[in-house]
Amino acid sequence: MKTISLIDLSLLLLIINFSVLTAHAAGGKWQVLKNVGISAMHMQLFKNDRIVLFDRTDFGKSNLSLPNGNCVNNDCTAHSAEFVVQTNAVRPLTVLSDVWCSSGSMDAYGNLIQTGGNNIGERRVRVFTPCTGCDWKEIVDGLAARRWYATNHILPDGREIIIGGRGQFNYEFYPKTASTSNVYSLPFLSQTNDPGQENNLYPFVFLNPDGNLFVFANNRAILLDYVKNVVVKTYPQIPGGDPRSYPSTGSAVLLPLKNLMTPSVEAEVLVCGGAPKGSFVQANKGTFVEALNTCARIKITDPNAQWIVETMPQARVMGDMLLLPDSTVLLINGASSGVAGWEIGRNPVFNPVVYRPDNAVGSRFEQQNPTTIPRMYHSSALLVRDGRVIVGGSNPHDKYQFGSDVLFPTELRLEAFSPEYLDAKYANLRPTIIAPGNQAKIHYGIKLAVQFSLTGTFTKNSVSVTMVAPPFSTHSFSMNQRLLVLAAENVQQVGPTTYQVQVTTPPSKNLAPSGYYILYVVHQQIPSEGIFVKIY
């Protein structure tokens, strides 16, 4: 018998381990874009293909100077910036109050309504309008209550609702009117508050097709009639009872809405990751408990709604979840042990995962190729028009800290993750939208003809159109995120390489609140570059 040397054995084990690590890597590519000088704790994409990002104003000096020698509170560096997606150009912005752990969403006009924060920022409303040379505008005492770790959502009537926050078991609206200037009690938030741990901050909030709000905190959820301030439904607790909200931070999405013309549109919510009970206390003692490796999915429109639990390829806490234009879900960023907070997360998760909601249970997760940059506490991620995902942030320290002796140094670089559908091998299947043009305006419930070109073989029965609302990303939750699938009603060839699909736009503001969306044509699961449309 031939003996195997230690060198041969080591090489064999290395090959086996490499095979195990790469066997489930379905695809995707990473590219470092630019050091933008600040850490992207919060991000929002605008209709002009620019991203506004910002972090704490009291992190210390950033690596991006304010223009013209300007300073705020003796700090002459920027804590907000505008990033141009097509060119990677960066422009410093001036934010006047502390935006740490704040919230926001886009209004019907494409402006970011950004609320709360810490210290003098806790009752501020900030507005950013996407125009050439524009900067932040701040409204002092624009909120009725202190909002720190709250969640925002745009409503069908165009108002913003701001829910919760540290010590705030209530909600309010913006802008204020004579009849809606109050703070409205929400006992559910106190009922889900774990003493000494909270686990109910940054609640997951989604607009249900019936016009009510699905509100998830800790390990359970309600359906809230915010007009009457009445809980109209209480959902069961997720099996196991472990917390999924900050600081045991999981993430959540409202899965793509389909069959929009039916009398009752079904809606499902997916919640992934989090941390076992007591993990926050243990982490602060130096014991980093493995995160949860499960997702829980529920049909929130079902009269007898129940959670179905699925197992992810790996445990994940502080991850982000994004809806992709092909109606899949991307899980990205985070760690596999510990919780959210200063330096209490460990073991970065480098591999994103794609979740295919229409596949059978057991075949929905596909692990993707890894990044090399840890994205820990205070990371963010956004889908942009060309189908890439822009990833930024990571600073688990109360100041900017750099150097080889720092565990998870402050990260100032933006990266782009390109899902597998952007691979060159699919170029001939990728549609190019011809009409309508970018920035088109559309109405509710109308027939819309979308023309596109295609160089490869056309498959008539494999065409759909999706609309994605650009969310506000911070602390592992993308506020105001939703995707609608517009079914193809009449697909035809109108030229040698030109085609047309007819769809019906969403019929209701409960399905799609007025505002800007990215519209994509999807052919054989390969999305086009999107165009911005405004529905009103």
DSSP assignment of 191-231: HT-BTTTB--BS-EEEE-TTS-EEEEETTEEEEEETTTTEE
> What pLDDT score was predicted for residue 389?
98
Integer Cα distance of 266 and 261 in angstroms? 11
> What pLDDT score was predicted for residue 181?
82
Tell which residue, 121, 127, 125, 128, has the closest CA to residue 166. 121
> What pLDDT score was predicted for residue 313?
97
DSSP state of 530: P
- Return averaged pLDDT per consecutive 10 residues of the chain, 536 residues in all: 38 34 66 98 98 94 95 96 98 96 98 97 98 96 97 98 98 91 95 96 98 98 97 98 98 98 97 98 98 98 98 98 98 98 98 98 97 98 98 96 96 98 97 98 98 96 97 98 96 96 98 98 98 98
DSSP assignment of 296-359: EEEETTSTT---EEEE-SS--BS-EEEE-TTS-EEEES-EEEE-SSTT-EEEE----EEE-TTS
Tell which residue, 95, 137, 101, has the closest CA to residue 116. 101
> What pLDDT score was predicted for residue 26?
73
Half-sphere exposure (Cβ direction) of 33: Cα atoms closer than 13 Å: 24
Is 331:316 a contact under the CB 8 Å cutoff?
yes
| Integer CA distances (angstroms), 18 to 22, 25, 42, 64, 349, in order | 6, 11, 35, 40, 17
**What is the dihedral angle through the alpha carbons of 148, 137, 322, 146, rounded to the nearest 10 degrees?**
10
Beta bridge partners of residue 353, listed in sequence order: 331, 367
Which domains are assigned to the chain?
29-422 (2.130.10.80), 429-535 (2.60.40.10)
> What pLDDT score was predicted for residue 180?
79
pLDDT digits (tens, 9 = 90+) for 490-501: 999 999 999 999
| pTM across the whole model | 0.94
Q: What angle do CA 331, 153, 418 make, to 5 degrees?
A: 30
What b-and-e string marks burial along 324-343, b requiring 16 or more CB atoms within 10 Å of the CB? bbbbbbbbbbbbbbbbbbeb
> What pLDDT score was predicted for residue 178?
83
Integer Cα distance of 410 and 184 in angstroms? 38
> What pLDDT score was predicted for residue 14?
35
